[in-house]
Amino acid sequence: MDPALADLLSRARSGGIHGFGDQGPEGSAEWCEGQPLPATLLLHDLRAGSLPEGFGAHPSFASVTELDLSGNVLQALPSDVWASMGSMRVLFLGGPGPKFTPEGASCNVLEALPPLLGSMPHLEHLSLHDNSLTALPELISCTKLHTLRLDRNPLRALPDLPPSLRVLHLEGCPLGGTLERPGALPAQVRALSQLEDLQLPDGSHVGEFFGAPLRELLAATAEGGGGHAALQASLASPDASDEATHAAIHEIFESGGITATCFSGLDKDELAFVNRSDHGGEAAHVYGDTNVRMVTELFELLRGAPASGTDAFFDLGSGDAKLTLSMVLLTPVRVATGIELSPTRHQQALAAQEQARARGLLGIEREARLRLICGNMLGLEHGLAEATLVFCYSLCLDDPFLRQLRAFLARQLPVGAAVLLRGRPLPAVADAGERPADDEPGSDRACRLELALQTFIINRQHQYYGYRVVAAGSDATAAPTPEAVRYVELEVRACRFGETFVTPASDAAAVQLWSLFEEGRT
């Protein structure tokens, strides 16, 4: 066995694949050369960079049935990587591994996969999310495959897929298809008759599990007509529905390729600029899409009132400005501001604004409410002092930057403002309150951010954390008690407020939020 291969295998861990069954706690597998490889081979989060010669092709791999290679900075795989792995059932090649942290980012960035992947007759679960795949090998021969995760890959086409598929996730892929226009899904998806959970490119869910079988949606839309011409006609009406607007937004960003460019369109120099330590750390470029309906519902839960014409919304790290534009088109906020550091993504946001204008979505009044800024979210010149609703996709921002962000927001935001983060919470305050910086000697501001809402989304990294801006008092350093934080648990039919579990039917706000999850709009 090649020494490099033996060294990599010696670093394997024991236990069960993340989120797969219960095979005991993870630990060192203590494998030695000459011993058979374990059936479950955990090699995630090792930052290997590449796989050594013989990986997957050496005869010792014949015993492996479950393999996790996520989080290894892999850009390519050897052509014979699957040669001796004919018994493989579960394969994780997703970008981030289960131990992902922004400080130690090790995402895979695979652009292609060896054709032999499609020759695994026992493969049941294949996870490829958050890579840079532009095409897939043929998978039709994987007749036992029931779960395929392709989320957030710049895929513009799909091969024929095995009819055994029950779960297929396409969120963030630049493919057609929405709840309103399921007929625009690739033909390979529409041909699948047994899907229980289909996540559409815009993040919506359909399928048997969600009470919305794809075949019924296809039949309903076929009977009701539709198509681009009908959509354009509905948007031309001053009473255009929210659903028609959602469909138009999806066409602008997903079908038009704008979101795909934001996911993978940054060159090496721009990546280095965006990932500087003062901009959020080495994974700050990682981009995430967020649904406007979930954001507005969580803001309403957070402060007890819906968005209104007096609100000023800010999206810190707005990417292609899909959320910012949606806030203008679908809510009454007075102004919606998107601040994006990446020049490429900012240009995509301007292109989206132009497309919205060309479609008649942005009149003079709406255009005046939309502000798109290319700059650092910590800039003092962006007018954050007027903000009442602030959103930030924080999953890949490191702790030092999040500490800066917390202090910055405490200095800039007015009392009563609401802050919603998706991904990671703000680090706890280490000193006595969040007070003005040393370079603001004349400021008498002394506010703090108080955690007031948190969601629980099982087996997902994208939790939401809601904060209220309050005047700093004597208890500025006190951690919020469980009773002071509202906990909303999604993916089980219950919501938890403090320590009390209630069914959605017993709380009107919970009913509303749960309905969003059931519609797949988280």
Q: pLDDT tens, 111-120?
A: 999 998 888 9
E strand segments, 113-201: 125-127, 147-149, 167-169, 197-199
Q: Per DSSP, what are the bridge partners of residue 67?
A: 41, 91
> Quick one: tokens of 258?
């704008």
Over residues 430-458, the pLDDT tens digits come to: 543 444 433 333 344 568 899 998 886 54
Compute how many other C-beta atoms are within 10 angstroms of the C-beta atom of residue 375: 12
Opening angle at CA 467, ends 463 and 472, nearest 5: 150
**Residue 388: which domain range?**
257-518
CA 487 to CA 496: how far, in whole Å? 5
Which of 75, 95, 458, 50 is closest to 263 using CA atoms?
Answer: 95
Task: Supply the DSSP symbol for 92.
Answer: E
Burial class (CB in 10 A: 0-12, 13-18, 19+), 28: exposed
Task: For residue 419, tell me if it sits in a domain.
Answer: yes
- 3-state SS class at 203: coil
Strand pairing class (418-422; 464-471): antiparallel
Do the beta carbons of residue 518 and residue 206 sit within 8 Å?
no
Listed range (3-17, 92-106, 293-307, 427-441) with the worst mean pLDDT:
427-441
Task: For residue 48, tell me if it sits in a domain.
Answer: no
Task: For residue 460, tell me if it sits in a domain.
Answer: yes
**pLDDT at position 388 over 90:** yes
pLDDT at 99: 58
pLDDT at 237: 37
Q: What CATH code is carried by the domain that includes residue 282?
A: 3.40.50.150
Compute how many other C-beta atoms are within 10 angstroms of the C-beta atom of residue 205: 20
> What pTM did the predictor assign?
0.56
The strands making up 40-42's β-sheet, listed across from edge to edge, are: 27-28, 13-14, 40-42, 66-68, 90-92, 125-127, 147-149, 167-169, 197-199, 205-206
pLDDT at 240: 41
Task: For residue 273, tell me if it sits in a domain.
Answer: yes
CA 314 to CA 383: how far, in whole Å? 10
Task: For residue 165, tell me if it sits in a domain.
Answer: no
Task: For residue 505, tell me if it sits in a domain.
Answer: yes
- 3-state SS class at 362: coil
Task: For residue 79, tell me if it sits in a domain.
Answer: no
CA 522 to CA 518: how far, in whole Å? 9
Listed range (92-96, 179-183, 510-514) with the worst mean pLDDT:
510-514
Over residues 213-222, the pLDDT tens digits come to: 888 777 766 5
Residues 6 or more apart from 355 whose CB is under 8 A from it?
252, 256
CA 103 to CA 400: how far, in whole Å? 9
128-132, 209-213, 253-257, 264-268: range with highest mean pLDDT: 128-132
Confidence band (pLDDT; 50, 70, 90) for 459? Answer: very low
> Quick one: tokens of 74?
């892999």
CA 168 to CA 208: how far, in whole Å? 12
Do the beta carbons of residue 193 and residue 174 sit within 8 Å?
no
Q: Report the run of H or E that residue 337 belongs to, with start and end.
A: strand 335-340
CA 205 to CA 203: how far, in whole Å? 7
Which of 170, 222, 226, 165 is closest to 194 using CA atoms?
Answer: 165
Listed range (157-166, 197-206, 296-305, 507-516) with the worst mean pLDDT:
507-516
Number of structural domains found in the chain: 1
Mean pLDDT of the chain: 77
End-to-end CA distance of the chain: 47
Do the beta carbons of residue 61 and residue 87 sit within 8 Å?
no
Do the beta carbons of residue 349 and residue 338 sit within 8 Å?
yes
Over residues 341-357, the pLDDT tens digits come to: 999 999 999 999 999 98
Do the beta carbons of residue 452 and residue 466 sit within 8 Å?
yes
Do the beta carbons of residue 214 and residue 190 sit within 8 Å?
yes
Which of 166, 94, 103, 171 is closest to 130 using CA atoms?
Answer: 94
Mean pLDDT value across residues 43-65 = 89
Task: For residue 292, tell me if it sits in a domain.
Answer: yes
pLDDT at 236: 36
Instruction: Please give the biggest Cα pair distance in the chain.
Output: 73
